[in-house]
């Protein structure tokens, strides 16, 4: 308990330090167009909160970005399992995953605009950015499975469900969890970037672009803070739900 309180105090102290640095930098610059203070950013955010449009934009962007994440998570698990089962699938997917990881997000966004509408762009880009991250995480988990346990399960002819709960899930889930933590952050960054370029009406990316062209630096910082907060909140919620589901499944199995 004491260690937890100490850790929290350290985090709050670090946050307070960097907020003080930000405030000092804003005061030194003295031009709101170039850099607004945290106090001004908070004030702008409080002005946005009561507006219905603010929450509509959050719902619009969050729904599409999280849909892309969900599709990427499901697809990555299916493809990773197939690659673990058949070597030719792994060989076939290897250059595709490497290509997706190496290609700049902006290039994907511009190319994708030829094929999809601006409102669907964030779904596709989020999906593409999540896919190689979680595919690699699941593959790592599969490869870390205990070979001796697998051989024993084969000898005793354990049902597939028992093997999944007793061997595969304990091996894969830690890597998958870590991959989800990374992928959710990438998902939000790439999804909003797609909206900034595609400019779908009623999105967070559209609000960022409008704030930039009107030199509304306070709104720009406020929306940026909202994106960071949403990413952190959804990451915490998703990982908590994942941990709960894992505990329940493994608990029922008694391992």
pLDDT tens digit sequence for 131-171 = 999 999 999 999 988 888 778 877 777 787 777 777 888 88
Measured at the CA of 239, the angle between CA 249 and CA 161, to 5 degrees, comes to 20
| pLDDT above 50 (res 223) | yes
Q: What confidence score (pLDDT) does residue 122 get? A: 93
- Report the distance separating Cα 133 and Cα 64, nearest Å: 19
Instruction: Give the pLDDT band of residue 207 (cuts 50, 70, 90).
Output: very high
pLDDT tens digit sequence for 177-188 = 999 999 999 999
| pLDDT above 70 (res 251) | no
Say what the pTM is.
0.89
Q: 46-55, 221-230, 245-254 — which is least confidently predicted?
A: 245-254
- Tell me if 150 sits within 8 A of 156, measured CB to CB: no
DSSP conformation letters of 183-237: HHHHHHHHHHHHHHHH--TTSHHHHHHHHHHTT-HHHHHHHHHHHHHHHHHHHHH
Handedness of CA 51, 52, 55, 60 (dihedral sign): negative
| pLDDT above 50 (res 255) | no
Burial class from Cβ neighbours inside 10 Å (0-12, 13-18, 19+) for residue 66 reads: buried
What average pLDDT does the segment 94-104 reach? 90
Query: Would you tell me how many other CB atoms lie within 10 Å of the CB of residue 177?
Result: 16
Query: Would you tell me how many other CB atoms lie within 10 Å of the CB of residue 91?
Result: 10
pLDDT tens digit sequence for 29-84 = 888 888 999 999 999 999 999 999 999 999 999 999 999 999 999 999 999 999 98
Q: What confidence score (pLDDT) does residue 254 get? A: 47
Structure tokens at 170: 């304990």
Structure tokens at 35: 């850099």
Structure tokens at 105: 């997000």
């Amino acid at each position: 308990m004491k260690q937890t309180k100490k850790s929290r105090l350290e985090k709050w102290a670090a946050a307070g330090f960097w907020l003080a640095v930000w405030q000092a930098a804003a005061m030194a610059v003295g031009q709101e167009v170039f850099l607004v203070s945290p106090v001004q950013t908070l004030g702008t955010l409080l002005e946005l909160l009561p507006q219905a449009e603010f929450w509509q934009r959050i719902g619009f962007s969050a729904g599409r970005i999280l849909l892309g994440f969900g599709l990427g998570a499901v697809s990555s698990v299916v493809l990773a399992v197939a690659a673990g089962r058949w070597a030719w699938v792994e060989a076939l997917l290897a250059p595709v995953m490497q290509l997706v990881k190496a290609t700049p997000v902006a290039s994907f966004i511009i190319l994708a605009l030829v094929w999809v509408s601006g409102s669907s762009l964030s779904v596709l880009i989020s999906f593409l950015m999540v896919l190689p991250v979680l595919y690699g995480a699941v593959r790592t988990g599969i490869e870390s499975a205990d070979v001796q346990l697998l051989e024993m399960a084969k000898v005793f002819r354990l049902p597939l469900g028992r093997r999944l709960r007793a061997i595969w899930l304990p091996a894969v889930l830690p890597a998958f969890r870590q991959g989800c933590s990374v992928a959710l952050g990438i998902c939000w960054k790439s999804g909003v970037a797609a909206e900034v370029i595609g400019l779908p009406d009623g999105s967070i990316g559209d609000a960022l672009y409008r704030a930039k062209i009107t030199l509304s630096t306070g709104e720009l910082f406020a929306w940026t803070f909202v994106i960071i907060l949403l990413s952190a909140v959804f990451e915490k919620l998703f990982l908590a739900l994942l941990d709960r589901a894992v505990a329940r499944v493994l608990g029922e199995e008694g391992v």
